[in-house]
Structure 1
Amino acid sequence: MSLVVDIRHAFGGFALDVSFEAPAGITALFGRSGSGKTSVVNAVAGLLRPREGRIVVEGETVFDAGARMSLPPHRRRLGYVFQDARLFPHLSLRQNLTYGLRFAPRGASGPSPEEVAELLGLTALLDRRPGALSGGEKQRVAIGRALLSRPRMLLMDEPLAALDAARKAEILPYLERLRDRTGLPILYVSHAVPEVARLATTVVVLDHGKVVRAGPAERVLSDPDMVRQIGVREAGAVLPAVVTRHHADGLSELELSGGRVFLPAFDLAPGERTRVRILAHDVILSREAPVGLSALNILPATVIALREGSGPGVMVQMQCGEDRLLARITRRSADALALAPGVGVHAVIKSVSVARIDIGGG
């Protein structure tokens, strides 16, 4: 495991009691504001000393309350990226990037400044100063500076929270490249479902200072019991896919474990792997294979579970090939279709209902 966290701490009326293990890849700490996400990251970074517990990074114990041992932040070799890029305004982008080299351990290997600039799409901007950069560009510089400190893990505390939708869409592909090319473990804090769905390999859900669910992103985000944390409008499934071809009419074809789907065209090449988030309220169910519909995506599935809320809605979880799919329909519709675990259905998904931000890379 890249990271083992088992800590307890009290803040007045708030108690933190968190235990999880994070494998390689991006582990997202997900939850509402005030759930304890930043406190956990600060404990890993050494900015918060818990009253009890233990933290292990890449096999090394960096904190052990029982042994009264806590490595100072600079000895933990962790790169921390905050919400605010915190660049030096009087230095060029190149100088801001290479500032991270000052904190790299002597003899530590890693990508060169030029390689980091290429990875993050900054090569053409190296001579500019921060005042001439967009919010997304500044945040990419902050990530590059952290990478050049040669960390053994990156900590990111809501790095996209201060960006508008356009800047978020701009930076997400670079975070995917960072995840897929460097192999560097990342602990990523967010309460934004689209970010977590695109980036995370593992999700740890926090609620009132406690872990309520942890596991692979596809399983956690497709769990109907997570609707309370995620929200009804954001509930959906994350499905791995392979791009098969791009069509002249502006649609891209992908292969899921449960069938093929057509989505608005994007720039991944045929053969590349990706992930698609399909929102539960964009899925229509039919007991029979529908005909004469404008919808192109019809996937056979089997009902696994139904979860009723306080209102008229029902969340239906289905097995679709090797993956899980969610649909939100009315209780009346569920009764009319006689839905129950084991019942076969057809899930109907409109191609245009899947937003570009819900199609990830890697």
Structure 2
Amino acid sequence: MLRVDVSKQLGEFSVEVSFASEGRVTGLFGASGAGKTSLINMIAGLLRPDRGIIAVDGEALDDTAGGLHVPAHRRRIGYVFQDARLFPHLDVRQNLDYGRRMNRLAEDPALQARVTDLLDIGGLLDRRPGRLSGGERQRVALGRALLAQPRLLLLDEPLGSLDEERKVEILPYLERLRDEASVPMVYVSHDAGEMRRLATQVVMLRRGRVIAFGGPEVLPSTAANPAG
């Protein structure tokens, strides 16, 4: 379970959000400026809330009343950004292994094989990122995050920089992650169709506040973005 009950002042903008989700994929949905990235950065530990608590499976990562703030590198949370952020001087195999080495985890050939198969990246292992398509780079970024063995995976608009053809290519892999991987995810998007396909629970945000929470049925009936 992911529990979030936080507030944060960011200049003239403020985030005041409270929800608890047991969904395999918790969607953070809203227009640009709704507070989605600020919220996901608080969950990641990159941004510290002014007040409140963030907990994963009953373990507090932030608790301002108790003076607790677990730093990002100790949270065991994977983060996949809109741009894949692969290391250009490393090949795919080395990029995939980076998270494991940084977290000082033992090699797990079975997990490596499972993730490589899940994301269909076995044929890319010897390539450098510059020789990959946008969709391939995002699949490698997903693999790198999974091989760090996170307790939670954050995806911040992972399809946002891709054209429609690449989005169609990668969406089935995200659905496979949801259905076959054992890692719960928080998925950020302003695209209602994308969210409807992937999310099992949705937190709908507007101007830093929750305006709806529930299953995908809370999403707007058309693909039009909600007011920010």
**Smaller-chain TM-score range?**
over 0.9
Deviation, 1:115, is: 1.6
Higher strand share: 1
Stretches of 4+ aligned residues off by more than 3 angstroms: 103-111
Q: Percent identity?
A: 54
CA contact (8 A) 2:206 2:227 kept: no
Gapped regions of structure 1 (runs ≥ 5): 232-362
**After the TM superposition, which residues 190-201 of structure 1 pair with which residues of structure 2 at under 5 Å, given as runs?**
190-201=189-200
- Distance, in Å, in 1 between the alignment partners of 2:218 and 2:155 is 20
Counterpart residue number, 2:219? 221
Q: Which has the larger radius of gyration?
A: 1
Match of 1:171 in 2: 170
1:22 counterpart residue number: 21
Equivalent positions of 1:61-140 (< 5 A) are 61-104=60-103, 106=105, 112-140=111-139
Contact 1:105 1:150 in 2 (8 A): no
Match of 1:142 in 2: 141
Q: Is the 8 A contact 1:110 1:150 kept in 2?
A: no
CA contact under 8 A between 1:93 and 1:127: conserved in structure 2?
yes
CA–CA separation in structure 1 for the residues paired with 2:212 and 2:161: 27
- The number of residue pairs the alignment matches comes to 228
TM superposition shift of 1:57: 1.0
What are the within-5 Å matches in structure 2 for residues 167-316 of structure 1?
A: 167-217=166-216, 219-221=217-219, 229=226
Per-residue deviation, residues 242-283 of structure 1 (Å, max 9, x unmatched): xxxxxxxxxxxxxxxxxxxxxxxxxxxxxxxxxxxxxxxxxx
Deviation at 1:24, TM superposition (A): 3.3
TM-score (norm 1): 0.60
**Higher normalized helix content (fraction of residues):** 2
State the alpha-carbon separation in 1 of the partners of residues 110 and 227 from structure 2. Answer: 37
Structure 2 unaligned segments of length 5 or more: list them.
Answer: none
Q: Which amino acid in structure 2 is aligned with residue 59 of structure 1?
A: G
Aligned residue for 1:66, secondary structure, equals helix
Q: Structure 1: which amino acid aligns with 2:218?
A: V
Query: Secondary structure of 1:32's partner?
Result: coil
Cα distance in 2 for residues equivalent to 1:96 and 1:208: 37
Structure number with greater CO (CA < 8 Å, separation at least 6) is 2
Q: CA–CA distance in 2 between the matches of 1:186 and 1:70?
A: 21
Per the normalisation by structure 2, the TM-score is 0.94
Provide the C-alpha distance between the structure 2 equivalents of 1:77 and 1:18, rounded to a whole number of angstroms. 22
